[in-house]
Amino acid sequence: MAVTESSVVAPPPGWGRRIPRDEKLFFIVIVMTTVLMTAFAVGWVVWSDHNVPRTTAHTTPAEYSARVQAFTKRYADDQGRAWVPPGTDAYMLATRYSWYPELVVQSGKEVMIWISSGDVLHGFSLVGGGQNLNLEIAPNHAFGVRLTPDAPGRYRIICNEYCGLGHQTMASYLTVVSAEEMAKHVAGAGTAAGGTGTTAGGAAAGALQLTADASGKLAYDVTELAADAGAVTITMTNPSPLPHNIAIKGNGVDAKGPIVLKDGTSTVTADLKPGTYTFYCSVPGHEAAGMKGTLVVK
Ligand code: CUA
């Protein structure tokens, strides 16, 4: 049996016996830095106020959309802007390519704004008014953000997550008003509440009907409509969880019905002369994606 000799060279005598002073110092510095950085990282999360003050909850697009619908119905003015009285949670739905509804909140009052997505991942970005918020908005999760706007104004909301061809059009505003303005609006809405019921249009003769695509495709069920000259009314039913409306444009006409969510109806009426018009959804990006058609008036 042959003896196999090791090829490893033995260390020189005295090697590794003592750690030199500079290496010891280096080691101590490394350990101290590690401890300090770890403590700093943890402390930054716990004590710093840069954290986004958010809470999350599970939801579904259908359930969340119903919530936004109820909220908007209750607080929206005739331009579709929801005035959020202090102490009330606000609900906003992100869908390609809109933030719905536009919110009006009171300056100096903390407000909880819930946001969820009805389709794909969006990025909620709000800058201004002492805020600099960036949140990822995913479907099936509601993100609640507590914020206290500190100055009246109109602050831009944009989407900072690429979500499709109309991504760059996905913008809105957060409007911050003074306590007086909010009180005035709430008082005004209270007295007008009895009279603001939609004038039950009761299917006027020649009224046109259409339906938005139920599966969430950006389209109506028809692409062509015809009407006689005069007052033309189009009513759209929205069976999808996405916000849609019906609007008419062309030949100097520009009329828009209210934006509605699931099971809502949007009605637009315009006085039309003979000619060719476009009916479309005015939610940003929807017309460009194909939610439109031709209206021929004879
Ligand atoms: Cu939504 Cu980009």
Closest CA to 155 of 171, 136, 178, 170: 171
Residue 192: its pLDDT value, please?
44
Q: Do 74 and 177 fall within a single domain?
A: yes
Q: In angstroms, rounded to a whole number, what is the distance separating the alpha carbons of residues 105 and 85?
A: 7
Note whether residue 35 is domain-resident: no
Note whether residue 164 is domain-resident: yes
Residues with Cβ within 6 A of ligand 1? Answer: 122, 159, 161-163, 167, 170
Note whether residue 111 is domain-resident: yes
Least confident of 127-141, 168-182, 188-202: 188-202
Per-residue pLDDT band at 21 (split at 50, 70, 90): confident
Q: Contact at 8 Å (CB) between 186 and 157?
A: no
Cis peptide leading into residue 20 (ω within 30°): no
Q: What is the pTM of this model?
A: 0.67
Read off the CATH number of the domain in which 95 is found: 2.60.40.420
Number of domains in the chain: 2
Per-residue pLDDT band at 127 (split at 50, 70, 90): confident
160 CA: nearest ligand 1 atom: 2
- In 3-state terms, what secondary structure has residue 87? coil
Q: In angstroms, rounded to a whole number, what is the distance separating the alpha carbons of residues 125 and 118?
A: 17
Q: Do 221 and 252 fall within a single domain?
A: yes
Q: In angstroms, rounded to a whole number, what is the distance separating the alpha carbons of residues 234 and 279?
A: 9
Mind listing the pLDDT tens digit for each residue in 148-172? 888 899 999 999 999 988 899 899 9
Residue 190: its pLDDT value, please?
53
Residue 6: its pLDDT value, please?
66
Note whether residue 119 is domain-resident: yes
123 CA distance to ligand 1 centroid (A)? 6
Greatest mean pLDDT among 7-11, 130-134, 272-276: 272-276
Per-residue pLDDT band at 247 (split at 50, 70, 90): very high
Residue 83: its pLDDT value, please?
94
Q: Do 264 and 216 fall within a single domain?
A: yes
Q: Do 169 and 71 fall within a single domain?
A: yes
122 CA: nearest ligand 1 atom: 1
Q: Do 170 and 94 fall within a single domain?
A: yes
146 CA distance to ligand 1 centroid (A)? 22
Per-residue pLDDT band at 137 (split at 50, 70, 90): very high
94 CA distance to ligand 1 centroid (A)? 8
Residue 291: its pLDDT value, please?
93
Domain boundary among 189, 218, 248: 189
Q: Do 153 and 182 fall within a single domain?
A: yes
181-190: long-range contacts at Cβ-Cβ below 8 A with a sequence spacing of 24 or more?
Answer: 181/152, 182/83, 182/85, 182/86, 182/104, 182/106, 185/77, 185/83, 185/104, 186/83, 186/85, 189/77, 189/83
Note whether residue 128 is domain-resident: yes
Residue 2: its pLDDT value, please?
57
Residue 77: its pLDDT value, please?
86
Higher pLDDT: 133 or 17? It is 133
DSSP E strand boundaries for 129-207: 131-137, 141-147, 153-159, 171-177
Residue 44: its pLDDT value, please?
86
Residue 92: its pLDDT value, please?
94
* Residue written as token pair 């990822």: 136
Mind listing the pLDDT tens digit for each residue in 57-109? 999 988 898 899 889 888 988 878 899 999 899 999 999 889 999 999 999 99
Note whether residue 241 is domain-resident: yes
H/E stretch holding 23 reads helix 21-47
Residue 296: its pLDDT value, please?
92
Q: Do 167 and 271 fall within a single domain?
A: no
Q: Do 229 and 183 fall within a single domain?
A: no
Quote the mean pLDDT of the chain.
85
Q: Do 149 and 229 fall within a single domain?
A: no
- Look at residue 116 and tell me whether its pLDDT is greater than 90: yes
Domain that holds residue 251: 208-297
Note whether residue 273 is domain-resident: yes
Note whether residue 24 is domain-resident: no
Residue 195: its pLDDT value, please?
36
Greatest mean pLDDT among 22-31, 43-52, 233-242: 22-31
203: tokens are: 């299917």
Q: Do 61 and 182 fall within a single domain?
A: yes
Domain boundary among 136, 158, 189: 189
Q: Do 160 and 66 fall within a single domain?
A: yes
Domain boundary among 143, 162, 189: 189
Closest CA to 273 of 241, 232, 216: 232
Residue with CA closest to ligand 1 atom 1: 122
99 CA distance to ligand 1 centroid (A)? 9
Q: pLDDT exceeding 90 applies to what percent of the chain?
A: 48
Average pLDDT of span 246-264: 89
Residue 28: its pLDDT value, please?
95
- Look at residue 198 and tell me whether its pLDDT is greater than 70: no
Q: Do 80 and 146 fall within a single domain?
A: yes
